[in-house]
């Protein structure tokens, strides 16, 4: 059966979406565009799934274009028995290109060794939402992928039953064949393919999903990623590796200050560089420029090396524009001052002001996290081939659907004329949710009338990115005589991602304040969460785990400070603050819950406690460590998962820091591939250590002062944790799946900082650590 090549009968799932327009909420990284009125406020959304079939609901249906549950879109079976399953999300290292097809294979009883994965191009009407961000692929697609697999299996079973003239209830698909046990007859999937394609697609309501106890693959972690062999042999195909006949290579000189403009340029010296063919102006968009290109001057050459050399030879004059005075030292002072005054109150319980005044002791922590750059190993890169009113793109994008929309809009052609081919991504971390680099390639290809690859250099990546915000988080905790925390005031001051879309934005968006500020889970009588104003002077974007980084750093460092002030154990202090097992329901307008319904994904302190207790047990909290070593602990709920980390640090007498051991417990609900969960958490520890130790982008005169891995350092192998142990909390039978890609990052830095205090008695409140331990 070839479902994919059988588009004749449009299945009802897609059609149902047309009948039921659902207003987009500000739930997705793309829908922020819609939420801010840049495009229309309505999208098609398919209902996620029927209530009967499911124990829980997710926010999947509210994503742009919702979910498509149709085996003919996702599965085909060849006469040779090869099952092809479409992976419609972008692979950037999480393993999603393996995990989602594996779910389909599990349910359809396909043998994984006879499955091929085919990457979907960007087409959300066909495949449903494709935004690979927000740690939600498994969360949104576990059940839809199971339903797709179960439909395909049912169609194969029906075809076999007809062939044998027996009731469908008597046959059963088992490991790539359908068997009739009464007669001992068997037919392979390949032999049934043609007939199965003629079967009608069963209704979701009637589908029987497998009993999880019969799972062969899900939850087992024994399947390697589909790209493993290609990666180890150099055959894996990333955006950077696309080559087309007649393709030109381009690098672009962009304005050194965000919002700046080209005044003039002299191409002569560049044109003399061997291999350089042309120098072209690139259109830029005014600040705030959303995902549109910044503009500049492109050097077109026969290879990338020549293009880079040509660009170095360009003479350029820029007007730095409105952000030309941005200075991160001065701005930090502004943020700190703002944090010391009242701000917009977002959550208020009891009377924090009075309780702080009446407290026996008030502990104040002002925590700083600077701008960060993603520096995914593969810099932004894209190939475009624009011919007339048609465009084809090859790019490592996290949002192929969004890329398609934006390319169409930028070129002024219908969306249906744009094909977006999704390559592997050499890392994404949120940077590749923005398709500016693909738009640059499209504009240049249109102008040249030839295919073009736009390659960003590492310097471009660091100078012209969409940085993680910069923030001051100020927490005041009031303690009574017994040491109990009776008041909590948290002010968060940081420019918002929304500033990249709407001029004049000074407050953080619900999706940012919902990341560890207003959803703070501690059992405290008097709480005030505030957001003083902060403007943006550069492009701010999503960075793996987003605002959870500064929030977890502040909140969990404060827990350490409270333990320190009361002379109590960190873990006991943490558990006391979390308080009784309960569902936390903060009274907050537009409470953001990662786009998920509260009913399926409440803030559950029992699960938070469990993560702490598990990591404490397995990670041997309280164990004796050598002199100069210290243990620190932190827990954080993000992307509706619960993660606790213990870091052991060693600081020598010169202040040099090493990390002998990391232990992390993650409760991500029902899970698919524990082996990939472990790899995500191992990686998150290293990203957490990188940002804690080194991560800082600074500005002077509006320009980023760092340029490459020498001055924007990341952790290397010789300083990486010697061992990271990962423990997965076993899920209950109906626990919905939750995020994995991002939530490992936030608890790392505060656990490290608490460990450093235990080792040295020094309390670090400003990241990165840099030379602070050397003093």
- The site for other proteins (CB under 8 A) is made up of 91-95, 224-225, 227-229, 231-238, 240-241, 243, 249, 273-275, 302-306, 308-309, 375-379, 424-429, 455, 457-458, 675, 679-680, 682-687, 708-710, 714-724
Query: Looking at beta carbons only, is 372 or 487 nearer to other proteins?
Result: 372
Which of ligand FES, other proteins, none is residue 518 near (CB under 5 to 8 Å by kind)?
none
The token duo for 467 is 């940085």
In the complex, what is the shortest distance from the CB of residue 611 to other proteins, in angstroms, rounded to a whole number? 21
Find the farthest-apart pair of alpha carbons in the chain and give their distance in angstroms, rounded: 83
Under the binding rule (CB under 6 A), the answer on residue 377 touching ligand FES is yes
In the complex, what is the shortest distance from the CB of residue 680 to ligand FES, in angstroms, rounded to a whole number? 12
Q: Cβ neighbours of residue 570 under 8 Å, at least 6 residues apart?
A: 559, 560, 563, 631, 632, 633, 754, 758
Q: Give the residue carrying structure tokens 């509260």.
A: 598
Which of other proteins, ligand FES, none is residue 292 near (CB under 5 to 8 Å by kind)?
none
The answer to whether the bond into 593 is cis (omega within 30° of 0) is no
Query: Looking at beta carbons only, is 427 or 702 nearer to ligand FES?
Result: 427
Which of other proteins, ligand FES, none is residue 683 near (CB under 5 to 8 Å by kind)?
other proteins
Which of 138, 145, 131 lies closest to 738 in space, CA to CA? 138
Quick one: which H or E segment has residue 55? none
Which of other proteins, ligand FES, none is residue 502 near (CB under 5 to 8 Å by kind)?
none
Which of 519, 599, 500, 542 lies closest to 742 in space, CA to CA? 542
Query: Looking at beta carbons only, is 686 or 704 nearer to other proteins?
Result: 686
In the complex, what is the shortest distance from the CB of residue 398 to other proteins, in angstroms, rounded to a whole number? 12
Interior angle at CA 342, CA 495 and CA 506, nearest 5: 25
Which of ligand FES, other proteins, none is residue 55 near (CB under 5 to 8 Å by kind)?
none
Alpha-carbon gap, residue 328 to 300, rounded angstroms: 35
733, with CB counted inside 10 A (0-12, 13-18, 19+), is exposed
In the complex, what is the shortest distance from the CB of residue 461 to other proteins, in angstroms, rounded to a whole number? 10
List phi, psi (to 5°) of 114: -115, 25
Alpha-carbon gap, residue 106 to 568, rounded angstroms: 49
Alpha-carbon gap, residue 413 to 90, rounded angstroms: 25
Which of ligand FES, other proteins, none is residue 408 near (CB under 5 to 8 Å by kind)?
none
Query: Looking at beta carbons only, is 241 or 440 nearer to other proteins?
Result: 241
Which of other proteins, ligand FES, none is residue 770 near (CB under 5 to 8 Å by kind)?
none
When binding is defined by CB under 6 A, the residue of 17, 35, 93, 465 that contacts ligand FES is 93
Classify the C-alpha dihedral 457-704-742-121 as positive or negative: negative
Distances (CA, A) of 166 to 93, 177, 676: 46, 16, 42
The answer to whether the bond into 288 is cis (omega within 30° of 0) is yes
In the complex, what is the shortest distance from the CB of residue 490 to other proteins, in angstroms, rounded to a whole number? 30
Q: Cβ neighbours of residue 645 under 8 Å, at least 6 residues apart?
A: 615, 633, 634, 635, 662, 663, 664, 665, 685, 744, 747, 748, 751
Query: Looking at beta carbons only, is 197 or 242 nearer to other proteins?
Result: 242
Residue number, nearest CB to ligand FES = 377
In the complex, what is the shortest distance from the CB of residue 453 to other proteins, in angstroms, rounded to a whole number? 9
Binding track over 38-77 against ligand FES, x by CB under 6 A: ----------------------------------------
In the complex, what is the shortest distance from the CB of residue 724 to other proteins, in angstroms, rounded to a whole number? 6
Which of ligand FES, other proteins, none is residue 685 near (CB under 5 to 8 Å by kind)?
other proteins
The token duo for 19 is 């009948």
In the complex, what is the shortest distance from the CB of residue 378 to ligand FES, in angstroms, rounded to a whole number? 8
Under the binding rule (CB under 6 A), the answer on residue 228 touching ligand FES is no
Alpha-carbon gap, residue 373 to 371, rounded angstroms: 7
Which of other proteins, ligand FES, none is residue 27 near (CB under 5 to 8 Å by kind)?
none
> Hey, which residues does 315 pair with through a beta bridge?
266
Which of other proteins, ligand FES, none is residue 393 near (CB under 5 to 8 Å by kind)?
none
Contact 186, 179 (CB under 8 A): yes
In the complex, what is the shortest distance from the CB of residue 92 to ligand FES, in angstroms, rounded to a whole number? 8
Query: Looking at beta carbons only, is 258 or 398 nearer to other proteins?
Result: 398
Which of other proteins, ligand FES, none is residue 667 near (CB under 5 to 8 Å by kind)?
none
Q: How many CA atoms lie within 13 A of 726 on its CB side?
A: 20
In the complex, what is the shortest distance from the CB of residue 178 to other proteins, in angstroms, rounded to a whole number? 33
Query: Looking at beta carbons only, is 554 or 643 nearer to other proteins?
Result: 643
Query: Looking at beta carbons only, is 25 or 719 nearer to other proteins?
Result: 719
Distances (CA, A) of 183 to 161, 164, 165, 166, 189: 12, 10, 12, 10, 18
Q: From the centroid of its chain, how far is CA 432?
A: 10
In the complex, what is the shortest distance from the CB of residue 178 to ligand FES, in angstroms, rounded to a whole number? 40
In the complex, what is the shortest distance from the CB of residue 289 to other proteins, in angstroms, rounded to a whole number? 26
Which of ligand FES, other proteins, none is residue 240 near (CB under 5 to 8 Å by kind)?
other proteins
Q: Cβ neighbours of residue 730 under 8 Å, at least 6 residues apart?
A: none
Q: Give the residue carrying structure tokens 């971390």.
A: 429
Query: Looking at beta carbons only, is 200 or 233 nearer to other proteins?
Result: 233
121, with CB counted inside 10 A (0-12, 13-18, 19+), is buried
Contact 340, 474 (CB under 8 A): yes
The token duo for 316 is 């350029």
Which of other proteins, ligand FES, none is residue 457 near (CB under 5 to 8 Å by kind)?
other proteins
Which of ligand FES, other proteins, none is residue 125 near (CB under 5 to 8 Å by kind)?
none
Classify the C-alpha dihedral 97-465-254-439 as positive or negative: positive
Query: Looking at beta carbons only, is 411 or 441 nearer to other proteins?
Result: 441
The secondary structure of 497-557, three-state, reads HHHHCCCCCCCCCHHHHCCCCCCCCCCCCEEEEEECCCCCCCCECCCCCCCHHHHHHHHHH
In the complex, what is the shortest distance from the CB of residue 377 to ligand FES, in angstroms, rounded to a whole number? 4
Query: Looking at beta carbons only, is 232 or 580 nearer to ligand FES?
Result: 232
Q: How many CA atoms lie within 13 A of 44 on its CB side?
A: 18
Query: Looking at beta carbons only, is 87 or 427 nearer to ligand FES?
Result: 427
Query: Looking at beta carbons only, is 305 or 655 nearer to ligand FES?
Result: 305
In the complex, what is the shortest distance from the CB of residue 251 to other proteins, in angstroms, rounded to a whole number? 11
Task: Provide the pairing of β-strand 603-604 with 583-584.
Answer: antiparallel
Which of ligand FES, other proteins, none is residue 238 near (CB under 5 to 8 Å by kind)?
other proteins
The token duo for 88 is 């419609």
Query: Looking at beta carbons only, is 183 or 303 nearer to other proteins?
Result: 303
Residues near ligand FES (CB under 6 A), total: 3
Query: Looking at beta carbons only, is 305 or 655 nearer to other proteins?
Result: 305
In the complex, what is the shortest distance from the CB of residue 299 to other proteins, in angstroms, rounded to a whole number? 14
Which of other proteins, ligand FES, none is residue 425 near (CB under 5 to 8 Å by kind)?
other proteins
Binding track over 425-444 against ligand FES, x by CB under 6 A: --x-----------------
Query: Looking at beta carbons only, is 227 or 572 nearer to ligand FES?
Result: 227
Q: From the centroid of its chain, how far is CA 11?
A: 31
Query: Looking at beta carbons only, is 376 or 531 nearer to other proteins?
Result: 376
Quick one: which H or E segment has residue 736? none
Give the interface with ligand FES as residue ranges (CB under 6 A). Answer: 93, 377, 427
């Amino acid at each position: 059966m070839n479902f994919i090549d059988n588009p004749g009968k449009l299945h009802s799932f897609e059609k149902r979406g047309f009948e039921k327009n659902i207003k987009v909420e500000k739930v997705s990284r793309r829908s922020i565009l819609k939420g801010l009125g840049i495009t229309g406020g309505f999208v098609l959304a398919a209902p996620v799934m029927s209530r009967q079939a499911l124990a829980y609901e997710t926010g999947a249906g509210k994503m742009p274009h919702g979910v498509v549950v149709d085996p003919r879109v996702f599965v085909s079976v060849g006469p040779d028995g090869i099952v092809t399953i479409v992976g419609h999300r972008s692979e950037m290292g999480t393993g999603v290109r393996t995990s989602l097809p594996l779910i389909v294979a599990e349910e359809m009883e396909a043998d994984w060794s006879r499955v091929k994965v085919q990457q979907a191009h960007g087409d959300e009407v066909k495949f449903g939402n494709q935004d690979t961000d927000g740690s939600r692929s498994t969360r949104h697609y576990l059940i839809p992928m199971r339903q797709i697999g179960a439909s395909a299996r049912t169609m194969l079973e029906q075809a076999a039953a007809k062939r044998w003239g027996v009731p469908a209830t008597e046959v059963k698909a088992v490991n790539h064949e359908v068997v009739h046990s009464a007669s001992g007859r068997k037919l392979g999937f390949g032999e049934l393919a043609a007939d199965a394609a003629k079967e009608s697609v069963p209704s979701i309501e009637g589908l029987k999903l497998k009993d999880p106890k019969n799972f062969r693959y899900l939850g087992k972690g024994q399947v390697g990623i589909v790209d493993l062999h290609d990666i180890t042999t150099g055959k894996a195909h990333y955006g950077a590796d696309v080559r087309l006949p007649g393709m030109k290579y381009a690098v672009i000189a962009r304005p050194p200050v965000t919002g700046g403009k080209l005044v003039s340029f002299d191409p002569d010296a560049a044109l003399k560089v061997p291999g350089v063919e042309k120098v072209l102006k690139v259109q830029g968009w005014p600040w705030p420029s959303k995902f549109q290109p910044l503009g500049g001057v492109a050097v077109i050459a026969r290879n990338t090396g020549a293009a880079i050399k040509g660009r170095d030879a360009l003479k350029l004059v820029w007007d730095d524009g409105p952000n030309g005075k941005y200075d991160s030292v001065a701005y930090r002072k502004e943020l700190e001052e703002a944090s010391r005054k009242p701000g917009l109150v977002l959550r208020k319980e009891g009377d924090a002001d009075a309780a702080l005044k009446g407290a026996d002791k008030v502990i104040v922590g002002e925590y700083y996290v600077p701008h960060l750059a993603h520096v995914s190993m593969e810099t932004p890169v894209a190939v475009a081939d624009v011919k007339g009113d048609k465009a084809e793109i090859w790019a490592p994008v996290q949002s192929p659907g969004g890329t398609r929309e934006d390319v169409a809009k930028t070129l002024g052609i219908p969306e249906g004329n744009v094909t977006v081919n999704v390559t592997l991504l050499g890392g994404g971390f949120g940077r590749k949710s923005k398709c500016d680099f693909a738009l640059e390639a499209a504009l240049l290809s249109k102008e040249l009338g030839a295919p073009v690859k736009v390659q960003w250099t590492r310097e471009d990546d660091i100078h012209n990115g969409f940085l993680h915000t910069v923030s001051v988080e100020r927490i005041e905790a009031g303690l009574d005589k017994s040491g109990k925390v009776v008041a909590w005031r948290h002010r968060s001051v940081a420019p918002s991602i929304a500033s990249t879309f709407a001029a004049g934005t000074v407050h953080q968006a619900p999706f940012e304040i919902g990341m560890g500020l207003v959803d703070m889970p501690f059992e405290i009588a008097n709480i005030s969460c505030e957001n003083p104003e902060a403007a943006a002077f550069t492009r701010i974007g999503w960075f793996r785990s987003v605002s959870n980084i500064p929030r977890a750093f502040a909140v969990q460092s404060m827990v350490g400070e409270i333990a320190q002030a009361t002379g109590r154990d960190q873990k006991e202090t943490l558990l006391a603050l979390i308080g009784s097992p309960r569902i936390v329901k903060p009274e907050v307008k537009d409470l953001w819950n990662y786009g998920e319904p509260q009913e399926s994904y409440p803030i559950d302190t029992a699960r938070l406690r469990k993560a702490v207790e598990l990591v404490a047990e397995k990670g041997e909290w309280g164990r004796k460590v050598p002199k100069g070593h210290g243990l620190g602990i932190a827990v954080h709920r993000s992307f509706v998962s619960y993660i606790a980390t213990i870091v052991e640090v060693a600081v020598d007498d010169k202040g040099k820091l090493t990390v002998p051991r990391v232990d992390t417990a993650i409760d991500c609900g029902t899970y698919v591939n524990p082996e990939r969960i472990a790899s995500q958490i191992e990686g998150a520890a290293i990203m957490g250590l990188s940002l804690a130790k080194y991560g800082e982008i600074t500005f002077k005169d509006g320009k980023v002062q760092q340029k490459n891995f020498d001055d924007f350092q990341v952790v290397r192998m010789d300083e990486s944790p010697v061992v990271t142990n990962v423990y997965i909390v076993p899920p209950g039978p109906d626990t919905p799946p939750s995020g994995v890609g991002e939530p490992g990052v936030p608890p790392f830095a505060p656990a490290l900082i608490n460990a450093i205090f235990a080792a040295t008695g020094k309390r670090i409140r400003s990241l990165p650590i840099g030379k602070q331990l050397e003093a």
